Amino acid sequence: MRLNLELKNMVSGDGTMKINKEQEEYRKKEKEEYRKSRNNFIWFGIILLIISKFIPEYWDAILYVPGSTFIFTGCYFWTKYKNISPRFTLFGFIAPIGFIPLALIKSKAGKEGNQNGK
């Protein structure tokens, strides 16, 4: 998802960083991609988990494992979307209750110098 983009930060006289329009557009596009990926993975995972409950017992793992994997991956994209630490992805293991903390955690996306959870 990363585009090859040369970042051109200009430091003003007071030491603050200025972000040019190209960087701002890139970050908006990247954030939108994370949001779309989050939604797609989580919804597809939830659908697979629901379907797995209605098929015979010995076949449910065929849909349960990929469904859980999709939810976990969706939670990862959620952390990238909010620009928080990827450790919060672990809330995906207690889905759907784990979605509540992810929804309530404030995004760090607007803060300077904090990029990609670092």
Domain ranges of the chain: 26-104
pTM over 0.85: no
Among 4, 70, 25, 118, smallest CA distance to 78 is for 70
The letter for the amino acid at 45 is G
Q: What is the pLDDT of residue 73?
A: 93
In 98-112, which positions are buried (b, 16+ CB within 10 angstroms) versus exposed (e)?
bbeebeeeeeebeee
Residue 40 has pLDDT above 90, yes or no: yes
pLDDT digits (tens, 9 = 90+) for 51-103: 988 888 888 888 889 999 999 999 999 998 888 888 998 888 888 888 888 88
SS3 of residue 68 by DSSP: helix
Percent of the chain scored above 90 by pLDDT? 23
